[in-house]
Amino acid sequence: MKLLAALLLALLSLSACAPVVVPAGPVTRQAGIEPFVAPPLPWMPVPAWAFAPSPPPPEPAGPRPEAMLVMPDGARLPLRVWRPEGPPRFVMLAIHGLADHGGNMLVEGGPLLAAGGALVYAYDQRGFGWTSPRGYWAGAETMVDDARHALALLRARHPGLPVFLLGESMGGAVVLAMRATDVSGIILSSPALWGRAYMPGFLRGLLWTAGHVLGPVALPPSAPNISASDNREALLRFARDPLTLRDVRFDMVKGLVDLMDQAIIALPGCCRTVPTLIMVGGNDQVIPTHIARRALRDAQVPRVAFYREGWHLLLRDGVREQVARDVLSFLNAPDRPTPREADGAAWLARTPD
């Protein structure tokens, strides 16, 4: 009897730590774009016992949001904009990566793309940035639906202009899972492709345990001796920004891997139905290059631009000006190869690690 009670208690404790997902709620309205009203910044002031006045919260990186994307369940996703000086030639919807937000994603890259005629939009995904609740995984289905609504709203706002999708890291996985066929082109910058198919068995087991037993436990999104960029200022800015996530829950990591699994399944089809440029950095430590190469080779993707000196955050790295030029070249002629695709073909053809 005591053994049975112990087993029941163990099962209850496991169920209590099941992965937490906060998906979209019931539909209450049509999706729309509304004026931005700033919520309070998620900033912890210095406590009174420190005998010092609390400093003002630091300003979030990037331009201040111009509007809110309001989803059918009422969720409000802040929308930032980088505008060209003259009339825009293309519209780009950019989707950020894990722990990041739409403003920080394109501090360096946004002005470079706008200077080439792109009207660039980036929003905060649910659970990130200036959204509420922060730090909880919304689920791949909700994130993909949000991206589809955002795309439809921006297309309606700019009829007649070609529309492109840009996804960075986790945002690249969201773009792949969208399976969009109604855009002029897709750019995937260091897409998150480290799904279970490319994990050793012990890592898949650790992931299950972490997601189901340690779900609420959170750790910093970075790991020792792993760097996302050679741009030190960008890394420091990420660490100081009040809208980036300081800690990521294990159940959010589990959700990210679920999303990457969907992205890998969608990868072969997306690159043939819509012009798609995939960009990879030779020094990427977040999605290791040998994992990315295996996934891209298995999917037989036709177009990969390889930046030997690049890291994970290509539009923030030291090679960002070259990357931005290649993106603009793709926007101008989506079917024409960009300069670094020859390097990409050679990299893909190398003997696997």
pLDDT of residue 200: 83
For residue 51, being part of any structural domain is answered with: no
pLDDT of residue 275: 97
| pLDDT above 60 (res 48) | no
Full DSSP string of 164-225: EEEEETHHHHHHHHHT--SSSEEEEES-----GGGS-HHHHHHHHHHHHHSTT-EE-SS-TT
For residue 187, being part of any structural domain is answered with: yes
pLDDT of residue 57: 73
pLDDT of residue 41: 87
| pLDDT above 50 (res 250) | yes
For residue 239, being part of any structural domain is answered with: yes
pLDDT (mean) for 51-78: 89
Cα–Cα dist 289/348, whole Å: 10
Q: Contact 176/191 with Cβ under 8 angstroms?
A: yes
What is the residue whose two structure tokens read 């919260």?
57
Kindly give, in sequence order, each residue whose CB lies less than 8 Å from that of residue 12, ignoring residues fewer than 6 positions away: none
For residue 48, being part of any structural domain is answered with: no
For residue 237, being part of any structural domain is answered with: yes
Number of domains in the chain: 1
For residue 5, being part of any structural domain is answered with: no
pLDDT of residue 13: 43
> Pick from 107, 136, 129, 102: which is nearest to 244 by CA?
129
For residue 203, being part of any structural domain is answered with: yes
β-bridge partners, 81: 121
| pLDDT above 80 (res 220) | no
Question: Can you give the CATH number for the domain in which 125 is found?
Answer: 3.40.50.1820
| pLDDT above 80 (res 2) | no
Percent of the residues in the chain that have a pLDDT greater than 70, as a whole number:
86
For residue 238, being part of any structural domain is answered with: yes
| pLDDT above 50 (res 183) | yes
For 169: left if phi > 0, alpha if psi spans -120 to 50, otherwise beta; the answer is left
At residue 280, the 3 state secondary structure works out as strand
Handedness of CA 114, 275, 320, 258 (dihedral sign): positive
Cα–Cα dist 107/243, whole Å: 14
**Structural domain containing residue 267:** 56-348
pLDDT of residue 201: 80
| pLDDT above 60 (res 150) | yes
